[in-house]
Amino acid sequence: MERLTGIGVSPGVVLGRAVVLTQRTEVMRFPIPPERVEQEVAALLRSQAASRQQLQDIKARVEHGPGSELAALFDAQLLMLDDPMLVGRAESIVRAERVNAAWAVHRAYEELYHVFRSMEDPYLRERETDVADVAGRLRLNLRHGAKGPKELLSEVDGPSVLIADELTASVAAQLDWSRVQAFATDAGSRTYHTAILARSLKVPAIVGLHDASLRIAAGTPVVLDGTTGELTVAPTPAQIDEAHRRATPPRRRRAATTAAGPVSTTDGMRIRLEANIELLEDLPFLNEHGAEGVGLYRSEFMLSGRPIESVTEDDQYALYRSLIEQVAPRPVTIRTFDVDERHFAGPGRGPERRRTRPGLRGLRLGLANPAVLRTQLRALVRASAHGPLRIMFPFVTAVEEVRDARKMLAEVVSGFSGIDPTQLKVGAMIEVPSAALAADLLAPEVDFFTIGTNDLIQFCLAVDRTDDRVSDLYEPLHPAVLRLIRIVRRAATRHHIPVSLCGEMASDPALVGLLVGLGLTEFSMTPGAIPIIRHVVEELSATEARRLASHALRLATAAEIEQYLFDALAASPFQRSPFRE
């Protein structure tokens, strides 16, 4: 028996088996049942085969291009891919620890990283970047057809207690909280965002346990007391009996509606919920979760590690047409490639550019490579004949970029007969401060805005959330972030164009009330988050949400805003729990 003490942020007592989730590395770690081990190993080997074919294709193209001398670089990556220290080691981790393959690849990569970094030869130390590229390619290919946290945790025998290094809103919104009845996180404080999330979900929770996700093995019985902040690991029979006596009755979530269509707050404000899509395999979830359309299709996911020039117009057209036809008559918003130079073949496009030109991506990169952007626009225009399509340009920073892109689009449309240019809606993704602050100037140039909160927060606060040294400064509730969102919404309203919000903030049950209070009525999120957000909206008063947002905008720090939201949910919540009968 071991007793860990953190900060209780949402009251209640739960007895269950631990499920461990690690996200800090941006790779999730899940325990898998014994009968799934062979399936996970098979997925790993399929990923290795796909990665090998991709690298061989890239090498062949480079050999016959202007940078033929760079082809040898891919020989090194092919050797690393087949080295037992990477995939072989990952397979042994899957079998020994019964964890998902993506995590096993990450673990194997970390071990190799430390080996390379300890070498004295500078050339050999630099080869670590090749290992990182190969491991990243393996994880990307594993993602195709992989199960997410909702599906994996649905296989866990309940009741269970989630032990996580941190719990992001995008994951929390997708979990089955009738099985996961409480959670504890390493990170956090009483006013930390996770505390607000716990209160919003009405789920017993502890934060600030520091290293519980490393110390507790998956499947270990635990007792969580969200009032005292105590987490008892491997409790004694007497402690189990006491926990049963004090246990909080499990909350069962209402069945999620599958009917598409707008949802309304209690006082009649209409809210539109759409889905973010990366793969065509995700489309069945649109009907399952009641999405009103695709608010964001990330077209760069079709690349699967291939150079962007290798994807032909016909390849793109076939995929876009399939997507639009399957979603019609609901609209589809397709974002043009949001990539950087690493996705191009040829000399000078390697990993060294990763640090030297971080701002050359998205629409900027498309305009700098007009043949690539024109090819994509031709495919999109052709596909628009098969259903409602909205084209969205990413990483917009200035009016000139939008004008240049729209001019190119007009030239493309003029080359087709039977295409009505007025039916093609064009939008800008607002994800850098310059675009947000100039939203009133951008609005007349486009038909809609989409606020991309993940990048907007990073650029606004000068924080790379993958950098452990500053990741704790990535704060969605920072006053500057909320003010930028309000600026964009007001500009869109003045110019009578719709504005939606995507990113993790859109799928956060703890923040949806604040966002509605800021005047937002359209959200796009991972499909699995839609049922919970729908329930939150249905029990939300827009009038109270506006009052909440008005007060929050007068506060000076993110901590003050978090404390205010936490107190509001604890004392007199403006919404009822979406998990009550």
Of the residues 460, 478, 502, 535, only one is catalytic, namely: 502
Q: Between vectors from CA 299 to CA 321 and to CA 333, what angle results, nearest 5°?
A: 65
The DSSP bridge partners found for residue 16 are 222
DSSP annotation of 404 reads: H
Of the residues 193, 343, 478, 535, only one is catalytic, namely: 193
Sign of CA dihedral 126, 132, 134, 135: positive
Backbone angles phi, psi at 345, to 5 degrees: -85, 170
Q: CA-to-CA distance for 447 and 422, rounded, in angstroms?
A: 10
Question: What's the N-to-C CA distance of the chain in angstroms?
Answer: 35
* 3-state SS, residue 539: coil
460 catalytically annotated: no
Q: Does a cis peptide bond (omega within 30 degrees of 0) precede residue 159?
A: yes
The answer for residues whose C-beta is within 8 angstroms of residue 109's C-beta and 6 or more apart is: 86, 131, 132, 135
CA-nearest of 71, 49, 16 to 182 is 16
Beta strands in 265-312 (DSSP E): 270-277, 294-298
Contact (CB, 8 A) for 140 and 106: no
502 catalytically annotated: yes
Q: For tokens 């992989």, name the residue.
A: 146
Q: Which amino acid is at 420?
A: D
CA-nearest of 199, 198, 178 to 250 is 178
DSSP annotation of 342 reads: G
Contact (CB, 8 A) for 196 and 566: yes
CA-nearest of 536, 510, 504, 492 to 271 is 536
The DSSP bridge partners found for residue 10 are 205
Catalytic residues: 193, 502
